[in-house]
Amino acid sequence: MATAMSPVAERENYLNQEYGVRSWLLTTDHKRIALLYLASITFFFFVGGLFALLIRLELLTPAGDLVQADTYNKLFTMHGQIMVFFFLVPSIPAVLGNFLVPLMIGARDLAFPRINLLSWYLYIIGGILMMHAVLTGGVDTGWTFYTPFSTAFSNTKVIEAGLAIFVVGFSSILTGLNFVVTIHRMRAPGMTWWRLPLFIWSMYATSIIFLLGTPVLAITLTLVIFERAFHLGIFDPTRGGDPLLFQHLFWFYSHPAVYIMILPSMGIVSEIVPCFSRKRIFGYSFVAMASIGIAVLGFLVWAHHMFVAGMSIYAALIFSFLSYLVAVPSAIKVFNWTATLYKGSITFSTPLLYAFGFIGLFTMGGLTGLFLAALGVDVHVTDTYFVIAHFHYIMVGGAVMGYLGGMHFWWPKISGRMYPESLGKLAALIVFIGFNLTFFPQFILGYLGMPRRYWQYPPEFQVLNVLSTAGSTILAVGYVLPMIYFLWSMRYGKHAEPNPWGAAGLEWMTPSPPPTSNFEETPQVTWEAYDYGNIDLPKEVPVER
C-alpha cells in the first residue's frame, strides 16, 4: 500500500496546496484547522504554564514574599482557567480530533467544515477576551468562580473571564456537534460501528459530554454575569439565594469536563498500545462501551466536589456511591491495555513511553480519586494539596502525556516528517521524572494538612514544596524540548512514509502528509479494527527493536 516517495519531488498535500495567510485563516480543511488550533492551544499552554511557575516560585518559601496574597489568588485562578478551558478541554479534540476523525472513518472532511472554522474563531475570540482580562487586572475567584465571592465581592475581571469561557465553551460545543454528526453520517462504506478505531469511540463519548454538559456551564456563567452586572439575587444569601445552587450548576458541567479531558487521551493510548505490541486490542467492545459508560456515568457524580460545602448527608452518600461506580469503566480500560501488552511484541518507541507514563500515572490519579470519594477521607483531605496532586496526576500525568504521545505518534502523518526518536525518548523521560518530582510530594503535603490556594504555609512543609518546585522546572524543560524538535523536524526531519509505524487504521493508508481531499478514492473497508496479524512492518523501521 505504500508507494515509494521521492523526498525531492514534493507531492501535492494539504500543506502546500495553497500558500498565504488567507488560505489558512479562511480554510475549511479540517487538517489546516487542526494546525490553527495547535498553534493557539500551545500558546495558552505556555501562558498557563507561566502562571504555574510563578505559583511554584512563591511556594519555594513558607512566607508570602514573592507576590501579594491577592496576586497569588489571581495566579492560581488564571492558571486553572487557562489550563482547563483554553488548553486541556480543546487540546486533543480540536487538534488530533479535528485532524484524525475524517481520516480514520474514511471521509473527505467533517460534516460541517465552515462551522469547524467558526469553532476556531470562537476559540480565538474567547482567548482574546481572556488575555485581556489577564492583562488588565486578572481574576481572583479560583477557576471555580464560587459565589457569592464572584458575584458580590470580588473586584476583578469576573465578567470578562466568564464571557471568555462562555465563548470558548460554545466553540467546544460546535466541535462536539461536528464530531457526532460526522461519525454518524460520514463513515466510509464498510466502516461499521464495531470497526471504528477506539480513538473515534472516545471522540464520540467526549462529544456527548461537550453537547450535554457545556451548555449548563454556559447558563451558569451567564447567571453570574447577570448577577454582577444587573444585581440579580439568584446566588445572593442576603436575599435568600443559595451559594450551593451555583456549585451544583457549576459542577454539573465541570465534573464531566474532567472526562472531556481524559477520554481523548485514553483513546490515544488505545491506538498506541496495539501498534507497539503488534496485537489487536484486548476486549475491543469493552473498551468502546467503557468510553460511553464513562461519559454517561460521569454526569451522575458532580456533587462529590461539594461533600463539605453544606450539602445534605444523604445526597453526599448517593454521590459518593455513584463516584465509585464511575471508576469501573476506567479500570476496565487499564486492564485491557495491560492485557494487550501481555505477550505482545513490544517496541519502546516514544509514543509507547508516553502511553506507559499515562497508564501508570492515570491509575495513581484515578485511585486517589476514590480516596476522595470516600466521605470520611474527604473531610480530612478536601481542599488540601492532596486534591491538587490527585487532579494533576490525571490531567498532567494522564491527559497531557496522552496528548504528547499522540502528537508523536501522528506527527509523521500531520507534518510528513519524522521527529528525532532519541530526543523524543529523552523528553518523555524528563517529563516523567519532572512530573513525579513535582506532584508526588503534593500528595504527602495534602495528607499532612497543607491547604490549597494559600500563599503561605507553615515552615515544616518547606522541604516538600522545594522538591515540588524543583520538579516543575524539570517538567518545563521536558515540555519545551518537543516544541523545539517538532519545529526543527518540519524543515530538517526525515520524510515520513505513509505508515512509518506499521499501524492499523485508514489514516495510515494515505500519504504523509495527506492530500487535501484525504483519500484519492473513498476507501471500502472490509477488515476489522486493529488487524495487526495482517499488517506488515514498514521496510525501514524508524525505531530500534
Partner 1 sequence: MSEHIVSTKLYYAIWIALLVLTGVTAGVAFIDLGPFNTIVALTIATLKAVLVILFFMHLKYTSEKMTSVVVISAIFWLLILLALSLADYSTRPLGLS
Partner 2 sequence: MSDSPVIVESHNPAQQHHFADMEQQRQAASLGMWLFLATEVMFFGGMFCAYLIYRYWYYPEFAAGSQTLDIRLGAINTGVLICSSLTVALSVRAAQFGKRKLLVTLLVATILLGLVFLGIKGVEWASKFEEHHVPGPSFHFEPTAHSHPNTKIDPRRIQIFFSLYFAMTGIHALHMVIGVGLFAVLTFYAWKGRYNSAYYTPIENAGLYWHFVDIIWIYLFPLLYLIDRKK
Note the residues at the interface with partner 1 (CB under 8 A): 184, 212, 216, 237, 240, 242, 244, 248, 252, 299-300, 302-303, 311-315, 318-319
State the amino acid at position 140 in one-letter form: D
Residue 524 makes contact with partner 2 by CB under 8 A: no
Using CB under 8 A, which of the segments 106-114, 139-147, 256-264, 451-459 binds partner 2? Answer: 106-114
| Contact pattern for partner 2 over residues 130 through 169, marking x by CB under 8 A | ----------------------------------------
Cα separation of 222 and 242, whole Å?
17
226 binds, options partner 2, partner 1, none, Cβ within 5 to 8 A by partner type: partner 2
- DSSP one-letter string for 204-220: HHHHHHHHHHHHHHHHH
- Min dist. Cβ of residue 151 to partner 1 (A): 15
Residue from 55, 94, 96, 173 touching partner 2 (CB under 8 A): that is 173
Q: Which does 19 bind (CB under 5 to 8 A by kind): partner 2, partner 1, none?
A: none
Residue 311 touches which of partner 1, partner 2, none (CB < 5 to 8 A by kind)? Answer: partner 1
Which region, judged by CB under 8 A, interacts with partner 2, from 233-241, 300-308, 337-345, 373-381? 233-241
Applying CB under 8 A, the span of 81-89, 214-222, 335-343, 417-425 interacting with partner 2 comes to: 214-222
429 grid coordinates: 523521560
* Backbone φ and ψ of 126, nearest 5°: -60, -40
Q: How near is the Cβ of 107 to partner 2 at its closest, in Å?
A: 7
Nearest distance in Å: CB 241, partner 1: 8
Residue 472: how many other CB atoms lie within 10 Å: 21
In the bound state with partner 2, the residue whose beta carbon lies nearer, of 50 and 245, is 245
Which span (181-189, 286-294, 314-322, 323-331) binds partner 2, by CB under 8 A? 181-189
- End-to-end C-alpha distance for the chain, whole angstroms: 23
111 binds partner 2 (CB under 8 A): yes
Dihedral over alpha carbons 105, 509, 88, 375 (to 10 degrees)? 70
d(CA 196, CA 263): 16
Provide the 3-class DSSP secondary structure of residue 509.
helix
- Taking the C-alpha atoms of residue 261 and residue 242, their distance in angstroms, rounded to an integer, is 29
Three cell numbers, residue 127: 482567548
Q: Tell the smallest beta-carbon distance from residue 124 to partner 1 (Å).
A: 29
| Of 215, 360, 449, 515, the one binding partner 2 by CB under 8 A | 215
Of 232-240, 360-368, 381-389, 528-536, the window that binds partner 2 (rule: CB under 8 A) is 232-240
DSSP string, 76-99: HHHHHHIIIIIIIHHIIIIIIIHH
Cell of 307: 461533600
Rounded Cα distance between 113 and 206, Å, is: 19
CA quadruple 141, 45, 408, 92: dihedral, nearest 10: 50
Nearer to partner 1, 310 or 459 (CB): 310
Shortest distance in whole angstroms from residue 105 CB to partner 1 = 16
Please report, for residues 18, 19, 124, 338, 515, the alpha-carbon distance to residue 15 in angstroms, rounded to integers and kept in the order given.
Answer: 7, 8, 22, 37, 8
Q: How far is the CB of 200 from partner 2 (least distance, A)?
A: 17
In the complex with partner 2, the residue whose CB is nearer, 85 or 461, is: 85
C-alpha span between 71 and 456 (Å, rounded): 13
CA distance 358 to 401: 6
CA angle 484, 489, 491 (to 5 degrees): 110
Which listed option, partner 2, partner 1, none, makes contact with residue 107 (CB within 5 to 8 Å by class)? partner 2
Question: Which span sits near partner 2 by CB under 8 A: 103-111, 269-277, 371-379, 471-479?
Answer: 103-111
User: Under the rule (CB under 8 A), what is the footprint of partner 2?
Assistant: 107-113, 173, 177-178, 180-182, 184-186, 211-216, 218-220, 222-223, 226-227, 230-234, 238-242, 245, 248-249, 252, 522
